[in-house]
Structure 1
Amino acid sequence: MPYRFDAPIWQTPPPGSWHFLTVPEEMADEIDRRTTGVQGGFGSVKVEVTIGGSTWLTSIFPSKQVASYILPLKRSVRSAEGCGAGDMVAVGLVLVGLEPHS
């Protein structure tokens, strides 16, 4: 089941300056229920993400600070899609590695 949402890109403070998206809380709750027992290290969940014309495999990670999952947004995708911190993007997200009945 694909998830679709719009989210702003946010950036951590230097020196790291990582870029992330936050999965909406209600979707995060459902993802957590669907992936209990199959989550990876640190509670990570494997996903396929599409933003614009870019699709890639990555993981989302639970964050207590935002009470949701966060999605790292790598530089190559930001460059290809011409987006950066503060921009709103449309996201397609598919859980990877789950049984079809889940």
Structure 2
Amino acid sequence: MRYEFTAELWRWEARPDLWVFVRLPADVSAEIRDVPRPRSGFGAVPVRVACGGSRWSTSVFPESADGAYVLPVKKAVRDGERLALGDRARFVVEVLG
């Protein structure tokens, strides 16, 4: 499964010094959630991601507030793509497995 979307970068309030995420669209989150898969820590789903010229592997995680999945965007990617909190960027997410 491969998804393309634009999303805004936001900082996780519980650990504002460490984590920046984007929220996957509701329809994408629902589709990912509906695929049966082995249970993993925190409901993580492994993905490959592209944003601009950056490519990386990580996992998306269900957000407890509304069930949408969130994607962590590491500092090296934000710096490389010149992204800051509140910026909107285009992401391509490929669900693995």
Q: TM-score, normalised by structure 1?
A: 0.86
Aligned residue in 2 for 1:57: 57
Instruction: Give the whole-Å Cα distance in 1 for the aligned partners of 2:91 and 2:16.
Output: 27
Superposed CA offset, 1:64-98 (max 9, x none): 124300111100000000001000000000011x2
Say whether the 8 Å CA contact 1:39–1:45 is kept in structure 2.
Answer: no
Instruction: Give the whole-Å Cα distance in 2 for the aligned partners of 1:37 and 1:25.
Output: 19
Larger Rg: 1
Query: 1:15, CA displacement in angstroms?
Result: 4.8
Provide the alpha-carbon RMSD of the alignment: 1.5
Aligned residue pair count: 96
1:23-42 aligned at under 5 Å gives the runs: 23-34=24-35, 36-42=36-42
1:1-102 aligned at under 5 Å gives the runs: 1-13=1-13, 15-34=16-35, 36-96=36-96, 98=97
Residue type of the alignment partner of 2:71: L
Say whether the 8 Å CA contact 1:48–1:58 is kept in structure 2.
Answer: yes
Residue type of the alignment partner of 1:60: V
5+ residue gaps, structure 2 = none
Please, which moves more after superposition, 65-74 or 44-53? 65-74
Ranges of 4+ aligned residues in structure 1 off by more than 4 Å: none
Query: 1:16, CA displacement in angstroms?
Result: 2.9
